[in-house]
Amino acid sequence: MHLIKRPGCCEFDSGVSLGRLTKACVVAAVAFILLYEGLLEFPAELVYLAVITFFVVVRLFSLLFTVDVFSPFENLFCSVFMGGMMDALKRVTERTEDGPAAAAKNAHSAKPKDE
Protein backbone atom coordinates (compact mmCIF):
# COMPACT_ATOMS: atom_id res chain seq x y z
CA MET A 1 0.00 0.00 0.00
CA HIS A 2 1.46 3.36 -1.03
CA LEU A 3 0.84 6.46 0.99
CA ILE A 4 0.58 9.76 -0.84
CA LYS A 5 2.84 12.48 0.52
CA ARG A 6 0.72 15.54 1.06
CA PRO A 7 2.27 18.96 1.59
CA GLY A 8 1.64 20.30 5.06
CA CYS A 9 1.65 16.94 6.81
CA CYS A 10 4.14 16.19 9.47
CA GLU A 11 5.39 12.64 9.63
CA PHE A 12 6.80 10.96 12.67
CA ASP A 13 9.28 8.09 12.68
CA SER A 14 6.46 5.61 13.11
CA GLY A 15 4.86 6.70 9.83
CA VAL A 16 1.89 8.42 11.47
CA SER A 17 1.04 11.67 9.75
CA LEU A 18 -1.05 14.45 11.15
CA GLY A 19 -2.87 16.68 8.71
CA ARG A 20 -3.93 20.24 9.28
CA LEU A 21 -7.50 19.22 10.06
CA THR A 22 -6.36 16.75 12.70
CA LYS A 23 -4.24 19.43 14.36
CA ALA A 24 -7.18 21.85 14.26
CA CYS A 25 -9.42 19.22 15.86
CA VAL A 26 -6.91 18.76 18.68
CA VAL A 27 -6.86 22.53 19.30
CA ALA A 28 -10.68 22.63 19.26
CA ALA A 29 -10.87 19.69 21.67
CA VAL A 30 -8.50 21.40 24.07
CA ALA A 31 -10.60 24.59 23.88
CA PHE A 32 -13.79 22.65 24.65
CA ILE A 33 -12.15 20.79 27.54
CA LEU A 34 -10.92 24.07 29.02
CA LEU A 35 -14.43 25.49 28.63
CA TYR A 36 -16.00 22.42 30.28
CA GLU A 37 -13.56 22.54 33.20
CA GLY A 38 -14.27 26.22 33.76
CA LEU A 39 -10.76 27.40 32.92
CA LEU A 40 -12.06 29.63 30.11
CA GLU A 41 -14.14 32.53 31.31
CA PHE A 42 -15.99 33.06 28.00
CA PRO A 43 -19.57 32.25 27.02
CA ALA A 44 -19.95 28.89 25.27
CA GLU A 45 -21.35 30.56 22.15
CA LEU A 46 -18.21 32.67 21.80
CA VAL A 47 -15.98 29.60 22.08
CA TYR A 48 -18.06 27.77 19.45
CA LEU A 49 -17.79 30.78 17.13
CA ALA A 50 -14.02 30.98 17.69
CA VAL A 51 -13.57 27.26 16.94
CA ILE A 52 -15.63 27.49 13.74
CA THR A 53 -13.70 30.58 12.65
CA PHE A 54 -10.46 28.77 13.40
CA PHE A 55 -11.52 25.81 11.22
CA VAL A 56 -12.40 28.16 8.37
CA VAL A 57 -9.08 30.03 8.64
CA VAL A 58 -7.09 26.77 8.66
CA ARG A 59 -8.98 25.52 5.61
CA LEU A 60 -8.55 28.80 3.71
CA PHE A 61 -4.84 28.97 4.45
CA SER A 62 -4.38 25.38 3.31
CA LEU A 63 -6.30 25.98 0.07
CA LEU A 64 -5.01 29.41 -0.88
CA PHE A 65 -1.47 29.51 0.40
CA THR A 66 -0.56 25.85 1.05
CA VAL A 67 0.90 26.99 4.36
CA ASP A 68 0.66 25.02 7.56
CA VAL A 69 -0.53 27.50 10.19
CA PHE A 70 0.78 25.21 12.94
CA SER A 71 4.41 25.07 11.76
CA PRO A 72 5.66 28.04 13.85
CA PHE A 73 4.16 26.51 16.98
CA GLU A 74 5.51 23.06 16.11
CA ASN A 75 8.99 24.47 15.52
CA LEU A 76 8.92 26.32 18.84
CA PHE A 77 7.60 23.29 20.71
CA CYS A 78 10.20 20.97 19.19
CA SER A 79 13.10 23.31 19.80
CA VAL A 80 12.16 23.91 23.44
CA PHE A 81 10.83 20.54 24.59
CA MET A 82 12.50 18.02 22.29
CA GLY A 83 16.14 18.95 22.66
CA GLY A 84 16.65 21.47 19.87
CA MET A 85 17.49 24.23 22.32
CA MET A 86 19.96 22.03 24.20
CA ASP A 87 21.64 20.94 20.95
CA ALA A 88 22.04 24.57 19.88
CA LEU A 89 23.51 25.54 23.25
CA LYS A 90 25.90 22.60 23.10
CA ARG A 91 27.09 23.65 19.63
CA VAL A 92 27.61 27.24 20.78
CA THR A 93 29.61 26.22 23.84
CA GLU A 94 31.76 23.88 21.77
CA ARG A 95 32.50 26.71 19.32
CA THR A 96 33.42 29.14 22.09
CA GLU A 97 35.70 26.60 23.79
CA ASP A 98 37.51 25.83 20.54
CA GLY A 99 37.19 29.38 19.21
CA PRO A 100 40.38 31.22 20.28
CA ALA A 101 42.71 28.23 19.90
CA ALA A 102 41.25 27.25 16.54
CA ALA A 103 41.31 30.85 15.34
CA ALA A 104 44.98 31.26 16.34
CA LYS A 105 45.90 27.99 14.65
CA ASN A 106 44.10 28.97 11.45
CA ALA A 107 45.67 32.43 11.49
CA HIS A 108 49.22 30.99 11.73
CA SER A 109 48.63 28.43 9.00
CA ALA A 110 47.07 31.00 6.65
CA LYS A 111 50.16 33.28 6.65
CA PRO A 112 52.46 32.80 3.65
CA LYS A 113 56.04 31.88 4.45
CA ASP A 114 58.72 34.28 3.25
CA GLU A 115 61.82 32.34 2.33
Question: How large is the greatest C-alpha to C-alpha distance in the chain, in angstroms?
Answer: 86
Q: Is 48 in the same domain as 88?
A: no
With 90 as the cut, is the pLDDT of residue 33 above it?
A: yes
Element (H, E) at 4: none
pTM as predicted? 0.56
Does residue 55 fall inside a structural domain?
A: yes
With 60 as the cut, is the pLDDT of residue 113 above it?
A: no
With 90 as the cut, is the pLDDT of residue 44 above it?
A: yes
d(CA 8, CA 66): 7
d(CA 40, CA 60): 27
DSSP states of 37-75: HT---S-HHHHHHHHHHHHHHHHHHHHHT---TTHHHHH
Share of the chain above pLDDT 70, in %: 68
Q: Is 26 in the same domain as 61?
A: yes
Per-residue pLDDT, 1: 43
Predicted confidence band at 2 (pLDDT cuts at 50, 70, 90)? very low
Does residue 115 fall inside a structural domain?
A: no
Q: Is 47 in the same domain as 82?
A: no
With 0-12 CB in 10 A as exposed, 13-18 as middle and 19+ as buried, what is 20? buried
Does residue 47 fall inside a structural domain?
A: yes
Does residue 112 fall inside a structural domain?
A: no
Q: What is the pLDDT of residues 48-101, one digit of tens each?
A: 999 999 999 888 888 888 778 888 888 888 878 877 777 777 888 887 766 555
Does residue 91 fall inside a structural domain?
A: yes
Q: Residue 94 belongs to what domain range?
A: 70-107
Does residue 113 fall inside a structural domain?
A: no
Q: Is 21 in the same domain as 58?
A: yes
Q: Is 101 in the same domain as 76?
A: yes
Q: What's the number of domains the chain is made of?
A: 2
d(CA 26, CA 15): 19
